[in-house]
Amino acid sequence: MRTTILQIKEMKQKGKRIPMLTAYDYATAKLIDGAGVPLILVGDSLGMVVLGYESTIPVTMDEMLHHTKAVVRGTEQSLIIGDMPFMTYHASVSEALHNAARFIQEAGAQAVKLEGGETMAETVRRVVECGIPVMGHIGLTPQSVHQLGGFKVQGKTQEAAIRLVKDACALEEAGVFAIVLEAIPTPLAKLITKKVGVPTIGIGAGPFCDGQVQVVSDLLGLFTDFVPKHAKQYAKLSDIIKQSVGEYINEVQAGTFPTDKQSYTMDESLLAGLEQEYIW
């Protein structure tokens, strides 16, 4: 039985912190789900950490659906959120509805996430009215990286901080079930968390949010291009992978892999017959 939207909202009321992680493939999602993470986001960060793009902007609906389907197949307990990619919910409310529905109907996700505050409120309201739970995302919104002038901390001036509080309130009013706060000062995230009734999920937003989200490739030390300040590496799988591949290369070259353990036998009399017929 998967985590429900209601349970996530109740966690805030009960003061229970909410862990969330990204996942992009069947095998990783299965491990994360088995470990008991209640929320899995198939983030468009996959563009950078899985597909090697420089930002999340090139990510398409087809790519998101492909990965979301794999994550859904690998999970039983976690609630799966599909991240709506750049320009798939901006041009019109009807396009947003159509694309949000694809995540639920085709990919099997239970909710969608989209970036933006007050300006996206009407779109959020319509998607929620159609029965699709929506997670908001404000602060550093990577799809607006060019507008923001880079991957920078947001809400540092009084004006910007007030805007973010208003954005959070507008999203709550429009019906989101939770809001991601990305790269904003800790005291501002604390204030927003107190102000809104829905859970806030922080990434680079300090310890006072109702939950935290991390990109799984950062958490496991799989992505080596850079480590964001907000990330904590709980493992360094890149080292383990490099070491394992090195050992494999050495063993193949030395002829010590494979051994009988990784090989198959056949009936001796069959072999003798084959040798008589084919080996001169």
Where on the chain is the footprint of ligand KIV (CB under 6 A)? 22, 41, 43-45, 83, 137, 180, 182, 203, 213, 215
* Shortest spacing between CB 235 and ligand KIV, in angstroms: 18
Tokens of 12: 């805030």
* Shortest spacing between CB 128 and ligand KIV, in angstroms: 19
CA distance 87 to 65: 15
- In this complex, which beta carbon is closest to ligand KIV, that of residue 182 or of residue 210? 182
- In this complex, which beta carbon is closest to ligand KIV, that of residue 134 or of residue 213? 213
- The position carrying tokens 């501002």 is 188
Closest by alpha carbon to 230, among 190, 202, 194?
202
Helices (H), the chain: 5-13, 26-35, 46-49, 61-73, 93-105, 121-129, 145-148, 158-174, 186-195, 216-219, 237-254, 268-278
- In this complex, which beta carbon is closest to ligand KIV, that of residue 43 or of residue 185? 43
CA distance 223 to 247: 21
* Shortest spacing between CB 49 and ligand KIV, in angstroms: 8
106, 172, 182, 275: the active-site residue? 182
CA distance 103 to 64: 8
Half-sphere CA count of 82, side-chain side, radius 13 A: 33
- In this complex, which beta carbon is closest to ligand KIV, that of residue 150 or of residue 244? 150
DSSP string, 37-93: -SEEEE-TTHHHHTS--SSSTT--HHHHHHHHHHHHHT-SSSEEEEEPPTTSSSS-H
* Shortest spacing between CB 212 and ligand KIV, in angstroms: 10
Q: Is 182 a catalytic residue?
A: yes
* Shortest spacing between CB 40 and ligand KIV, in angstroms: 11
Give bridge partners of residue 81 from the DSSP assignment: 41, 111
Burial degree of 204 (CB within 10 A; 0-12, 13-18, 19+): buried
- In this complex, which beta carbon is closest to ligand KIV, that of residue 146 or of residue 261? 146
Query: Which residues belong to the active site?
Result: 182
